[in-house]
Amino acid sequence: MEVSVLEPQMLSDLARANDWNAATLVAGLRTYFRSGSTTELSWRRKQLSQLRKMISENEAHFVQALQDDLRKAPQESYLTEISFLYNDINHTLKSLKKWVRPRKVQSPMMTQPAKSYVQPEPLGVVLIIGAWNYPLQLLLSPLVPAIAAGNCAVVKPSELSPATSRLIAELLPRYLDNDAFACVEGGVAETTALLEQRWDHIMYTGGGRVGKIIMSAAAKYLTPVTLELGGKSPCIVADDANLEVAARRIAWGKFTNAGQTCIAPDYVLCSRQTADRFTPMLQRVLWEMYGEHPRESADYGRIINSQHTLRLSDYLGDGEVVFGGEVDVDDCYMAPTIMRNVNLSAGVMQEEIFGPILPIIELDDFSKAEEFVNEREKPLALYVFTQDEALADRILSRCSSGNACVNDCMMFMLAQDLPFGGVGASGMGSYHGEHGFRTFSHYKAVMRRRNILDIDIRYAPFNDRKMKFLRLLSK
């Protein structure tokens, strides 16, 4: 595939060309929003189609940018970023007419004659802050429902994935309505300037530390927030699980994008006997997937930068490395790694790993698995591998998590009608499909009355007759 790489300097100049003063930018978008243009369904459809066109016409450039940022394999980029967005946009275009429709509700007797309905309306001007691990999908997937709901938006890609950030900043103005959308590149300074503005909603994807900064900035204007955060997602493997299948699916969930996935299984929780059977199966799957030298595999990614590679390499001392463990900081490389006998109070089990290290935690008493999970922060995802439906039901009902999957990892992401979001420390609010449309809409309660029939019981002077009638109506 011939990829004509866009000149980085040219791109950053273009991105800077919408030279921005945060306050002026937001004021301009707000003026446009108030013009009412974004409420037109045809406008929303056009913007969504343009977004799809932007991706399809530049697929090769996106694949290249994702390679540059994370050494993602083209097929992986297609599966987890590009096709994900196509499905998202197509589903939204197909469903939009239904989502925007007012929903009728009953009007009680005392209000008759009346029509009551719930009318979704756009929030206004929204800010979307993306993360670096899926730098395309995590920035544009929230933009899809923001457009669908009729908002103006500013997107802020992560500075840690500069190639994708630059490409989006360069392309977005070429395809979308520039009066309604803008992309601001940058790091802390730019995000801080944006956060000082008044927004109608902020959606942030990233770690909890910055999540708190976002929430306190939003509090100034009582701006609602959606926080898509992370955490340690447990993967419980019961003794009766089909371990062959589990090994493949867990290895895929963990080592895709070199473990830098917010819903990657963070650690495996199982009995000692299962750990002994499961470890060699995982090793075999990893050999099959990435060969004996994963570093040479075109299908195995890299850590986002050397700082994160160093952070990850520190975890290797927190237990016994039974597979992998090779690190090359200069190449941002860490081999797919399995650890056992890890120290539960050390970094590897106290922090979200967010890299290609899979600790296997062996429980003397497997029935303590739920307790193990519940003693920790509520995770973004919870995985259970078992053939026992009752066991799966019990774990799902006792352990809270943002999302859950039985006998697989991460696949719930493909179901457009499932909400995606965290709970507790793993986030608040959700999106995907109609849930995203709801996030970026206000559901306005409307009652329309007519001027005939004006039951007098609510008006003074009050008397027994009115009271009796009132009681009758409230029965």
Would you tell me which residues interact with ligand NAD (CB under 6 A)?
129-131, 133, 138, 156, 158-159, 187-188, 191-192, 205-207, 210, 213, 228-230, 262, 352, 354, 380, 422, 427
For ligand NAD, the closer of residues 126 and 392 by Cβ is 126
Min dist. Cβ of residue 462 to ligand NAD (A): 55
Nearest to 44 by CA among 153, 138, 136, 118: 153
Which residues make beta-bridge pairs with 334? 327
Q: What one-character-per-residue DSSP string does 161-229 give?
A: SHHHHHHHHHHHHHHS-TTTEEE---SHHHHHHHHTS--SEEEEES-HHHHHHHHHHHHTTT--EEEE-
For ligand NAD, the closer of residues 102 and 207 by Cβ is 207
Min dist. Cβ of residue 4 to ligand NAD (A): 28
Token output for 274: 């299962």
Nearest to 307 by CA among 355, 364, 370: 355
Bridge pairing between strands 441-449 and 233-237: unpaired
Min dist. Cβ of residue 428 to ligand NAD (A): 11
For ligand NAD, the closer of residues 23 and 41 by Cβ is 23
Token look-up 């009132």 returns 470
Q: Is 405 noted as a catalytic residue in this protein?
A: no
Q: Does residue 242 contact residue 274 with C-beta atoms inside 8 Å?
A: no
Nearest to 47 by CA among 199, 202, 164, 153: 153
| Spatial separation of the C-alpha atoms in residues 308 and 303, rounded to whole Å | 7
Length reported for the chain? 475
| Spatial separation of the C-alpha atoms in residues 35 and 150, rounded to whole Å | 12
For ligand NAD, the closer of residues 68 and 326 by Cβ is 68
Min dist. Cβ of residue 468 to ligand NAD (A): 56
Bridge pairing between strands 181-183 and 337-340: unpaired
Q: Which amino acid, residue 311?
A: R
For ligand NAD, the closer of residues 120 and 379 by Cβ is 379
| Spatial separation of the C-alpha atoms in residues 386 and 28, rounded to whole Å | 54
Token look-up 């709801």 returns 438
Min dist. Cβ of residue 162 to ligand NAD (A): 11
| Annotated active-site residue in 228, 332, 405, 409 | 228
| Annotated active-site residue in 152, 183, 262, 409 | 262
Min dist. Cβ of residue 133 to ligand NAD (A): 5
Min dist. Cβ of residue 205 to ligand NAD (A): 5
For ligand NAD, the closer of residues 15 and 129 by Cβ is 129
Name the residue whose CB lies closest to ligand NAD: 230
Give, as one character, the DSSP assignment of residue 380.
Answer: S
Q: Is 399 noted as a catalytic residue in this protein?
A: no
**Residue 310 parent element (H or E):** helix 306-315
Q: Does residue 455 contact residue 470 with C-beta atoms inside 8 Å?
A: no
| Spatial separation of the C-alpha atoms in residues 252 and 246, rounded to whole Å | 10
For ligand NAD, the closer of residues 233 and 337 by Cβ is 233
Contacts of residue 251, defined as CB under 8 A and 6 or more positions apart, other chains included, come to 282, 285, 286, 289, 336
For ligand NAD, the closer of residues 38 and 226 by Cβ is 226
- At residue 58, φ and ψ (nearest 5 deg) are -125, 20
Active-site residues, by number, are 228, 262
